[in-house]
């Protein structure tokens, strides 16, 4: 009914010249907003809009990625979204290194696999062997798949951040600015149908990888984000209820229901 009313009001029934007709994707966005009260999340590049909370709730770690290439224009748009993140005094201390050439991916993959083997604790190996289909086992299998196939990911993005030069914090990275930017990147990628995950296992071989990529000493290579079209489906991940992780006024003060 609401859609039909908008069509009548805007003349989308064909009674007005074509240039005056409302765009169908815009109409869908208006209807969605009216029904849900949520603003549509509508990245460029022709993707249909969907509401912001859908993007947030379904942007989970996607480690099984297809080798299909990702357009450079899309990569730039995703990074542009990352740069919209907040930073103290608008310093914008981030640099993103996009790796697509196979030779570079192979170099990284060798070291990432070694890091994965070091990362696996005896307990994790036991879970993989005895309970591979448990919740923790499924996560470990997914992480193992990424380690074994990271060279096949079409895009690897390294998120680097400038280190403070202020003597009081000299040499420490500006973490507070980088991770909102990374989350923006992942949300924007979701809008383009691209899966991402965030890992820092490469840091076990930071010296070698940074030297290979030419990262200067004034920057910290904090995160690796493999990106590509996912083999799996989008879904809401399992999370604890918000009230279970919220204290009111002071530590330990939980509420079973939302307070007035």
The 10s digit of each residue's pLDDT in 216-259 is 999 999 999 999 999 999 999 999 999 999 999 999 999 999 99
Mean pLDDT in the chain?
Answer: 84
Euclidean distance between the first and the last CA atom of the chain, given in angstroms as a whole number: 35
Q: Confidence band (pLDDT; 50, 70, 90) for 176?
A: confident
Beta strands 155-162 and 50-51, pairing class: unpaired
Q: Is residue 2 pLDDT above 60, yes or no?
A: no
Six-digit token string for 69: 């290439």
* Residue-range domains of the chain with CATH: 60-233 (3.40.109.10)
**Global pTM value:** 0.79
Six-digit token string for 6: 């908008």
3 state SS of 156: strand
Six-digit token string for 251: 């530590």
Which residue, chain included where needed, has tokens 């009674």? 15
Q: Which of 40-44, 160-164, 217-221 has the highest mean pLDDT?
A: 217-221
At 95, phi and psi to the nearest 5?
-140, 135
Helices first, then strands: H and E counts in the chain:
9, 6
Q: Is residue 211 pLDDT above 50, yes or no?
A: yes
Beta strands 94-99 and 50-51, pairing class: unpaired
């Amino acid at each position: 009914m609401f859609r039909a009313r908008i069509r009548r009001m805007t003349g989308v029934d064909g009674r007005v010249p074509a240039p005056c007709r409302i765009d169908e994707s815009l109409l869908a966005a208006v209807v969605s907003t009216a029904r849900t009260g949520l603003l549509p999340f509508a990245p460029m590049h022709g993707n249909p809009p969907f509401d912001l909370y859908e993007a947030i709730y379904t942007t989970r770690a996607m480690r099984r990625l297809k080798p299909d290439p990702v357009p450079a224009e899309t990569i730039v748009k995703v990074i542009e979204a990352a740069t919209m993140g907040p930073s103290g005094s608008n310093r914008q201390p981030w640099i993103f290194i996009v790796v697509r050439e196979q030779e570079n991916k192979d170099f990284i993959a060798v070291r990432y696999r070694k890091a994965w083997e070091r990362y696996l604790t005896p307990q994790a190996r036991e879970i993989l062997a005895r309970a591979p289909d448990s919740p923790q086992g499924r996560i470990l299998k997914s992480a193992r798949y990424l380690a074994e196939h990271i060279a096949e990911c079409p895009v690897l993005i390294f998120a680097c951040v400038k280190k403070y030069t202020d003597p009081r914090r000299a040499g420490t990275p500006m973490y507070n600015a980088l991770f909102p930017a990374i989350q923006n990147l992942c949300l924007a990628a979701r809008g383009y149908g691209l899966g991402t995950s965030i890992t820092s296992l490469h840091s076990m071989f930071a010296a070698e990888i940074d030297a290979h990529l030419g990262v200067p000493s004034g920057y910290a290579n904090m995160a690796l984000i493999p990106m590509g079209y996912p083999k799996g489906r989008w879904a809401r991940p399992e999370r604890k209820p918000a009230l279970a992780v919220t204290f009111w006024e002071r530590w330990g003060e939980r509420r079973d229901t939302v307070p007035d």
